């Protein structure tokens, strides 16, 4: 036996907590994306970073806290998408289309999201995790509804549609597409569906 291999992990790399926290969140997302919620174990996260499981406890109090950080990250990304879309064009309908496309891309590039949203991560977690997710989604839908209202004021969107319903329906442009993409192992073309669906959505919303 090689004597060097008997000394376990001879060179240890120490990184600051802020760096490790980000790495751990990224590893959690990657693992859920690749192997589903069950693939997200502390052992797997640690292995991904070249650490030992107990090392994670230097940066998070427990697994629950890691899930909290993952949700926070995903929520921030969705809201950032909404804000970015608002910058792109002054037209409310174009902003809505842009949000749908950015949302589709986000899920396509990071399909941990549907897993987290529906999965055991919530069921197993404390009720606070579910409440956190509810708050996050509500903020996102509120941002979309605001755009719809602005479009109604500007005279590009029919005034007889309920902004909240229109926001949920925009989610409906993306969510089933992401779902089909997921179960078809990537064969379903999300962007193509969102573009096709958008034409219907626009036709329904457009002021005559």
Partner DNA sequence: TGTACATCAGTGAACGCGCGTTCACTGATGTAC
96/82 Cα distance (integer angstroms): 9
Q: Which residue has the tokens 């941002």?
A: 143
Tell me the three state secondary structure of residue 99.
Answer: helix
Q: Supply the minimum distance, in Å, between the C-beta of residue 84 and its own copies.
A: 21
Closest CB to DNA among residues 17, 165:
17
Q: Which residue has the tokens 């995903």?
A: 74
Which tokens in the block code for residue 11? Answer: 């060179």
Q: Which one among 2, 5, 54, 87 touches DNA, defined by CB under 7 A?
A: 54
DSSP 8: S
Q: Which one among 8, 109, 160, 187 touches DNA, defined by CB under 7 A?
A: 8
Closest CB to DNA among residues 69, 156:
69
**24-43: contacts with DNA (CB under 7 A):** 40-43
What is the 3 state secondary structure string of 60-75?
A: CCCHHHHHHHHHHHHH
In the shown chain, the binding pattern of residues 175 to 194 toward its own copies, with x for contact by CB under 8 A and - for none, equals xxx-xx-xxxx-------x-
* Contacts for 89 with CB less than 8 Å, ≥ 6 apart: 95, 98
Q: Using alpha carbons only, what angle is made at residue 199 by residues 197 and 202, rounded to the nearest 5 degrees?
A: 110
Binding positions for DNA, rule: CB under 7 A: 8-9, 12-17, 20, 40-44, 46, 50-55, 57-59, 62-64
Binding positions for its own copies, rule: CB under 8 A: 35-39, 114-115, 117-120, 122-124, 130, 133-134, 137, 161-162, 165-166, 168-169, 171-177, 179-180, 182-185, 193, 196-197, 199-201, 203-205
């Amino acid at each position: 036996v090689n004597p060097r291999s008997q000394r376990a992990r001879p060179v240890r790399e120490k990184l600051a907590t802020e760096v490790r926290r980000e790495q751990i969140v990224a590893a959690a997302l990657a693992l859920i994306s690749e192997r589903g919620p069950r693939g997200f174990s502390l052992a797997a996260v640690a292995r991904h970073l070249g650490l030992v499981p107990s090392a994670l406890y230097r940066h998070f109090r427990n697994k629950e806290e890691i899930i909290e950080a993952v949700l926070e990250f995903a929520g921030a990304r969705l809201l950032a998408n909404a804000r970015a879309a608002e910058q792109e064009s002054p037209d409310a309908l174009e902003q809505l289309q842009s949000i749908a496309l950015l949302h589709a891309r986000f899920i396509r590039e990071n399909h941990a999201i549907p897993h987290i949203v529906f999965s055991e991560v919530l069921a197993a977690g404390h009720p606070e995790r579910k409440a956190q997710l509810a708050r996050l989604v509500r903020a996102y839908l509120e941002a979309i509804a605001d755009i719809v209202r602005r479009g109604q004021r500007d005279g590009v969107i029919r005034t007889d549609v309920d902004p909240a319903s229109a926001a949920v329906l925009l989610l409906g442009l993306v969510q089933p597409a992401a779902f089909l993409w997921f179960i078809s192992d990537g064969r379903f073309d999300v962007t193509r569906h969102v573009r096709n669906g958008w034409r219907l959505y626009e036709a329904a919303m457009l002021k005559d």
